[in-house]
Amino acid sequence: MIEHNGFIDKLTEVAMQSILYEAACFPSLGLVSPVSSGSHDDMDFFTFLDSTVVLAKYLSKFAEEGSKEYTPREIFCKLRPIGMECEKEMFKKTKGVNTHKGMIFVIGLIQSATAYVLTNKMEFENIKNVIVEMTKGVSNAELEIEQKQDSHINLSHGQKVYKKYGLKGIRGEAEKGFPIVFEGALRHFERKSHLPMNDRLVDTLIYIMKYADDTTILHRHDMETLKYVKQEAIKIIDLGGVESETGKLEIEKLTRCFELKRISPGGSADLLAATVLIWLIKNEFFRKE
């Protein structure tokens, strides 16, 4: 076991790595990448780099809170002001552009839950359970809006989507312990270890898109668009994904289509970063000798 200060530093390192890996892969299916701004006209790859630099000190703080003598629920309450301050600094750095708001929530939870598990000398499998404990009831507390409320003033994107479609998005996924990541995407990513890292990332992104109720898509578009995205992901997977020439061509074609239609699977991107982070954590701290 790495000593306390060492694992805080290492957790911060792998969190930064996962955020950068997500932004670096391409073709990126409407997301920002080093070769394209994707479906966005308010940000590019350098906007993401600027934002990621700001996140560094907060990633460390998330891990530090998880290593203290709190219950998982108490840790979650301690994370809130840190996350809000992190968002504030992000918006300041990007001049108001939302590059990482969802990412802050996801990575912050994983950082603190992992620190809790390491501090208490628990097993890798407990990370998921700790996240469930931390986030119990968060959807009810943050998403449920009285049906008589007609105005969308001051509602977050997630709240608007919940009010319209009844989907809990990333908060609901967190309450369940990120099953798309732990029970699906992580295994998919590990199975693709023979591929170059860029291809592993793109293929795993498509796998996640098949399952994720992506509220970024719903906020910018509608349920029909989300269904279309899932169907296209299934088609690419059935073609062999990045491991077939037909699959590669379809990925490039769909990327152009998403850019034209302004479709950006931002929620899936957050879960891709989460998958990479969990994979790095598993190999760094829980590798069986």
pLDDT computed for residue 162 by the predictor: 81
pLDDT computed for residue 213 by the predictor: 95
Mean pLDDT, residues 266-283 taken together: 98
pTM: predicted TM-score of the whole model, two decimal places: 0.94
Residue, of 142 and 192, whose pLDDT is higher: 192
pLDDT tens for each residue of 71-89: 999 999 999 999 999 999 9
Residue, of 157 and 267, whose pLDDT is higher: 267
**What band does 143 get if pLDDT is binned at 50, 70 and 90?**
low
Per cent of the chain over pLDDT 90 is 84
pLDDT tens for each residue of 10-21: 999 999 999 999
Residue, of 164 and 53, whose pLDDT is higher: 53
Mean pLDDT, residues 141-148 taken together: 57
Judged by phi (left if over 0) then psi (alpha if -120 to 50, else beta), residue 30 lies in left
Per cent of the chain over pLDDT 70 is 93
Residue 139 has pLDDT above 90, yes or no: no
pLDDT computed for residue 164 by the predictor: 84
Residue, of 282 and 161, whose pLDDT is higher: 282
pLDDT tens for each residue of 173-221: 999 999 999 999 999 999 999 999 999 999 999 999 999 999 999 989 9
Residue 238 has pLDDT above 70, yes or no: yes
pLDDT computed for residue 145 by the predictor: 55
pLDDT computed for residue 146 by the predictor: 44
- The CATH number of domain 4-138+165-285 is 1.10.10: no
Mean pLDDT, residues 147-170 taken together: 72
Mean pLDDT, residues 60-75 taken together: 96
Residue 234 has pLDDT above 50, yes or no: yes
pLDDT computed for residue 50 by the predictor: 95
Tokens of 188: 């998919």
Domain map (residue ranges) of the chain? 4-138+165-285
pLDDT, averaged across the chain? 93
pLDDT computed for residue 82 by the predictor: 97
